[in-house]
Amino acid sequence: MRGNSFGKMLSITSFGESHGPGIGVVVDGVPPGLDFSLEGLAAELKRRAPGQVAGTTSRKEEDYPEVLSGVFENKTLGTPIAVFIRNTNQRSKDYDNIKSDYRPGHADETTMKKFGIRDHRGGGRSSGRETIARVIGGYFASLVLPDIQVKGFMTKLGPFEFNGLPSDISDDYSPYYFPDKSKTKEIRDYLLDLKKNGESRGGKVSLVVKGVPPGLGEPAFDKLKADFAKALISIGAVVSFSFGLGEEMANLSGSEVSKDKQNFGGMEGGISNGDDIILNVTFKPTSTVGEKAKEGRHDPCIIPRAIPVVEAMVKLVLADHLLRQRAYEN
């Protein structure tokens, strides 16, 4: 199996399965001498960890990182950084009923057709638990981006929708990352009802990136927007990506779009222009529904736990391109 690595100047390679001994990642290209905090890394992982808010999976995992290499006396060494997270609360028998009963929309059947073998426990490599590696990578990418702020928000879930501008979102949001904090109880009850009935929902996430310098991105295949697209679409449940006005541009004239460069979401010609970057991704409903969802420990909506993953992938892209730009300048 190939395709387990992402990035060029700064790269991650993830390994492990949802119900194996654990999940790990090797982060390569992190410059030496950067301040590292084990508590800071653990805090990022806790944001993604199961069981943090009502209405998500009941699986409990400490997700405490073991840093195996690349850090000494709380400083990065510039060598490959290896981090491992042990799985401690597997209930593999919950997946016995999908061993040969594939879930539409998941990688169950396609993995079997591709390799002729699969780990059906939790989805194996296609499990959302693989995203632990991405969050770890995003933490180390953030060490390269001290002046850049990446914030993700859930802007649509079923009947709940935020219609304001992403740039208007304050930091006072709900535990579900919804901009309107007054909707917290309603969202919780909605998710609990989905869980009770074995149903799931998708939704939309918007990201605001502040402090990005101009000049990140390459003119052809490695456009900043192209790398964002690959990074975000590579998240298992993401089905679409846009930036700036996105699909709304299909309904507007050139004169309307071109009158304000902010309509382009902080990127022109695939290169950052110094404005805030506005990104949007759509998540499909989780594939485990019906009695299978009631029997197991599944998320009725993955978005509340996916926000740190989305942010991490954006940080990885930005750190990669920032290091590339520094190479030009040097």
pLDDT at 177: 92
pLDDT at 91: 54
Average pLDDT, the chain: 88
Q: The whole model's pTM is what?
A: 0.89
Query: Is the CB of residue 251 less than 8 Å from the CB of residue 329?
Result: no
pLDDT at 169: 76
Pairing of strands 203-210, 149-157: antiparallel
Structure tokens at 269: 């010609």
pLDDT at 121: 63
CA distance 226 to 222: 6
pLDDT at residue 32 tops 80: yes
pLDDT at 101: 72
pLDDT at 96: 57
In 3D space, the residue among 118, 127, 125, 134 whose CA is nearest the CA of residue 83 turns out to be 134
pLDDT at 30: 98
Question: What does the pLDDT average to over 246-260?
Answer: 94
Compute the CA torsion angle 72, 78, 79, 81 (nearest 10 deg).
70
pLDDT at 87: 86
Binned at pLDDT 50, 70 and 90, residue 42 comes out as: very high
Helix (H) or strand (E) holding 257: helix 254-258
Unique residue bearing structure tokens 């310098």: 213
Domains, the chain = 5-329 (3.60.150.10)
Which of the residue ranges 57-61, 114-118, 139-143, 146-150 would you say has the lowest mean pLDDT?
Answer: 57-61
pLDDT at residue 328 tops 60: yes
pLDDT at 297: 62
Q: Taking the CB of residue 188, how many other CB atoms lie within 10 A of it?
A: 17
CA distance 178 to 200: 18
CA distance 57 to 70: 33
pLDDT in tens, 149-170: 999 999 999 999 998 776 677 7
* More confident: 182 or 114: 182
Taking every pair of C-alpha atoms in the chain, what is the biggest distance, in angstroms? 59
**Across the beta sheet with 81-86, what order do the strands follow?**
5-6, 11-16, 22-28, 81-86, 66-69
Taking CA atoms, 164 is separated from 109, 128, 161, in Å, by: 40, 30, 9
* More confident: 242 or 299: 242
Query: Is the CB of residue 14 less than 8 Å from the CB of residue 4?
Result: yes
Structure tokens at 83: 């981090």
pLDDT in tens, 123-137: 666 777 889 999 999
